[in-house]
Amino acid sequence: MSSRVLSFVSLLLCIFPAIAFALHLPLTLTHFDANDPSRDPYQILSYLASSSLARAHHLKNPQITATATSDATTTTPLFSHSYGGYSISLSFGTPPQILPFVMDTGSDFVWFPCTHRYVCKNCSFSPSSDQNVTIPSFIPKLSSSSRLVGCRNPKCSWVHHTNKTQCDECRNSLTTQNCTQACPPYFLLYGLGTTAGVALSETLNLGDRTVSNFLVGCSIFSSRQPAGIAGFGRGLPSLPTQLKLHKFSYCLISRRFDDSPSSSTLILDSTSDMDRKTNGLIYTPFIKNPIVRGKEAFQVYYYVGLRKITVGGRRVKVPRKFLSPGKNGNGGTIVDSGSTFTFMAREIFEPLAVEFVKQVKNYSRARDVEVLTGLRPCFDVKDMGKPVELPELRLHFKGGAEIALPLENYFTVVGEGVACLTVVTDGDVGGGKAVVGHSGPAIVLGSFQMQNYYVEYDLRNQRLGLKPQLCI
């Protein structure tokens, strides 16, 4: 742990008090400002492609942490952001303090920017700006329910994904049972971004409900993290686990890469019947997560059984070993709301791209745009006299579930009539040579591909439900 982080932790000891349903939430998308002439559409796509690839690298090679209920249904607005995420607002503390959180199904920890001294480097909403921005922070001194988590608290092990005690300073003490050492600081990676801080026990306010002793991270330093993160993954510290949810669901509004106050809805449900299916949804079961020593994050992901991919009705030839996770954790498909564009291992992406190129006869390749955006293949479709026609992309899942993606979910039009496939793979971005490698999931289904789909995570019955729906 760096001396900078440790100095922040020392500072917190002076800031904190002493240690002693269905909910409907808005899900919001905040876009780049279309009126800002500096927002180059090629640059935007290149940034999102780069961040998606960096996210995939993190998910495939995770480094999680480094250290020196009630029956109700709640909904909340869900907003989207130009940096690739969708956010909700959550209220913590006594009295409540409301902050935005990125909804992330690929991680399992909840944290917020914390204290007046919070520092965030390169956290501008613009991909081209290195300027620091002011980000709302939680102020522990203003909350009577804020408590630092002690090293002997079982929730401390949740933070660090280990069953071992975190009381290093007290091991050789004669007063081990009365040890007051705080839980060691955390350091988390999210692809391009990082955050560091300490564990806090706080009250979460959900409408007219309160959840006491909720484990949340108090981050005091971050990089490239424009907001806190609400981890919705399968781990113990995740929001669904701590709330004992039976299911949660959302509908992601369309991305237009412009400024919009629109939002859709995230539903947190702890009242659902055991086997009841939601009308109109097709289901595919979650499959068993691989257990790999040193890659505990794999157990947090939502793996689904993707059986095949078709382009224009033709099956893409994908090596079988990439479709199911092996004992070493390599292969398989996960659903990740924290990724923008879908990632595919090169062995899957190449035959997919070849099939598109083979079937697209009426448009020429726009290779100059491919270089600018890091996306491929791109086609010149600017003949506006006719509607754009490109081959259908269909995903076939275990259990018979299929989704035929709308064209706008896998191609985006950029510049003067150029359509690019919004799937990334190893080393493609900006002509770079970075290789993600074969470790971890072979496919990461990103949020761009899930636009205007109602997505349900049925945790009680271990299945994912899907249906096309206009997300308004």
* Active-site position among 104, 108, 426, 458: 104
Query: What does the block give as tokens for 326?
Result: 């092996």
**157, 213, 136, 238: which is closest to 459 by C-alpha?**
238
The upper half-sphere exposure of residue 221, i.e. CA atoms within 13 Å in the direction of its Cβ, equals 16
d(CA 352, CA 309): 8
Is 104 assigned a catalytic role?
yes
Report the 10 Å Cβ neighbour count for 317.
14
Q: What is the DSSP string of 9-43?
A: HHHHHHHSPPP--EEEEEEEEE---TT-TT--HHH
* Active-site position among 108, 336, 428, 458: 336
Judge whether 16 and 140 are in contact, CB under 8 Å.
Answer: yes
Query: What does the block give as tokens for 116?
Result: 């007046």
The DSSP letter of residue 288 is: P
d(CA 168, CA 186): 15
Report the 10 Å Cβ neighbour count for 141.
12
Is 108 assigned a catalytic role?
no
Task: Tell me the β-bridge partners of 27.
Answer: 78, 264
d(CA 446, CA 335): 7
d(CA 203, CA 94): 7
* Cis geometry, peptide bond prior to residue 377 (ω within 30 degrees of 0): yes
**80, 446, 465, 444: which is closest to 246 by C-alpha?**
465
Query: Which residues contact residue 356 at a Cβ distance below 8 angstroms, ignoring those fewer than 6 apart?
Result: 311, 377, 390, 391, 421
d(CA 368, CA 410): 20
Type and span of the H or E element at 51: helix 41-60
430 residue type, one letter: G
The DSSP letter of residue 293 is: T
Q: Please, what is the Cα angle at 386 between 380 and 389, to 5 degrees?
A: 60
Task: Return the active site residues.
Answer: 104, 336
